[in-house]
């Protein structure tokens, strides 16, 4: 049986992209020949950065990964997957609460596009506590975020919060 080349999507808001995201993206990039980082414009979230800025920050963060592409989107994940011939969604899960939420999304995406599977990756132990929300909160209160985000993200985040 001949296997077909897979395109996978790693979706998220990435407000901002963190070292935890990058760890998962790097690991997922080893599993799939083409990985799309789908940066969501989510009107339900009050993002600190514009979609364009989040796409730019993510693009710079993963430019060393040659099979990774960053694209902004504002529609259903199932429609985005169809438009990009993707059959796999990659999601990171840190906790059982994450898993329950992600499982519901996976089931809905599969109901909308029957050949769209979701795989879950656990973060490495050193990255499991990092979230964009925590990073923003630490930065807002003057804490050191240098080990939580790439330098270019730290610079933009501190500039935005100033």
Point out the catalytic residue in the list 27, 34, 94, 110. Answer: 94
**Is 59 assigned a catalytic role?**
no
Taken as a whole, the chain contains a residue count of: 162
**Is 21 assigned a catalytic role?**
yes
**Is 114 assigned a catalytic role?**
no
- What is the rounded distance in angstroms from the CA atom of residue 143 to the CA atom of residue 89? 33
Hey, what are 102's tokens? 């992600």
**Is 132 assigned a catalytic role?**
yes
Point out the catalytic residue in the list 29, 54, 132, 136. Answer: 132
Which SS3 state, helix, strand or coil, does residue 137 take?
Answer: helix
Point out the catalytic residue in the list 45, 64, 146, 160. Answer: 45
Identify the CA nearest to 10 among candidates 57, 75, 80.
Answer: 80
Residue showing tokens 């003057």: 142
> Hey, which residues are catalytic here?
21, 45, 94, 132
């Amino acid at each position: 049986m001949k296997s077909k080349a897979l395109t996978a999507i790693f979706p998220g808001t990435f407000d901002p992209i963190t070292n935890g995201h990058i760890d998962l993206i790097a690991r997922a990039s080893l599993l799939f020949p083409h990985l799309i980082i789908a940066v969501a414009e989510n009107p339900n979230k009050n993002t600190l950065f514009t979609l364009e800025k989040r796409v730019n920050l993510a693009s710079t963060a993963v430019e060393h990964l040659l099979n990774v592409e960053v694209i902004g989107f504002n529609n259903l994940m199932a429609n985005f997957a169809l438009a990009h011939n993707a059959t796999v969604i990659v999601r990171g899960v840190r906790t059982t609460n994450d898993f329950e939420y992600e499982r519901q999304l996976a089931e809905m995406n599969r109901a909308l596009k029957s050949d769209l599977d979701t795989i879950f990756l656990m973060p490495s132990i050193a990255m499991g506590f990092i979230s964009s929300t925590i990073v923003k909160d630490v930065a807002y209160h003057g804490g050191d975020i240098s080990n939580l985000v790439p330098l270019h993200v730290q610079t933009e985040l501190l500039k935005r919060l100033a």
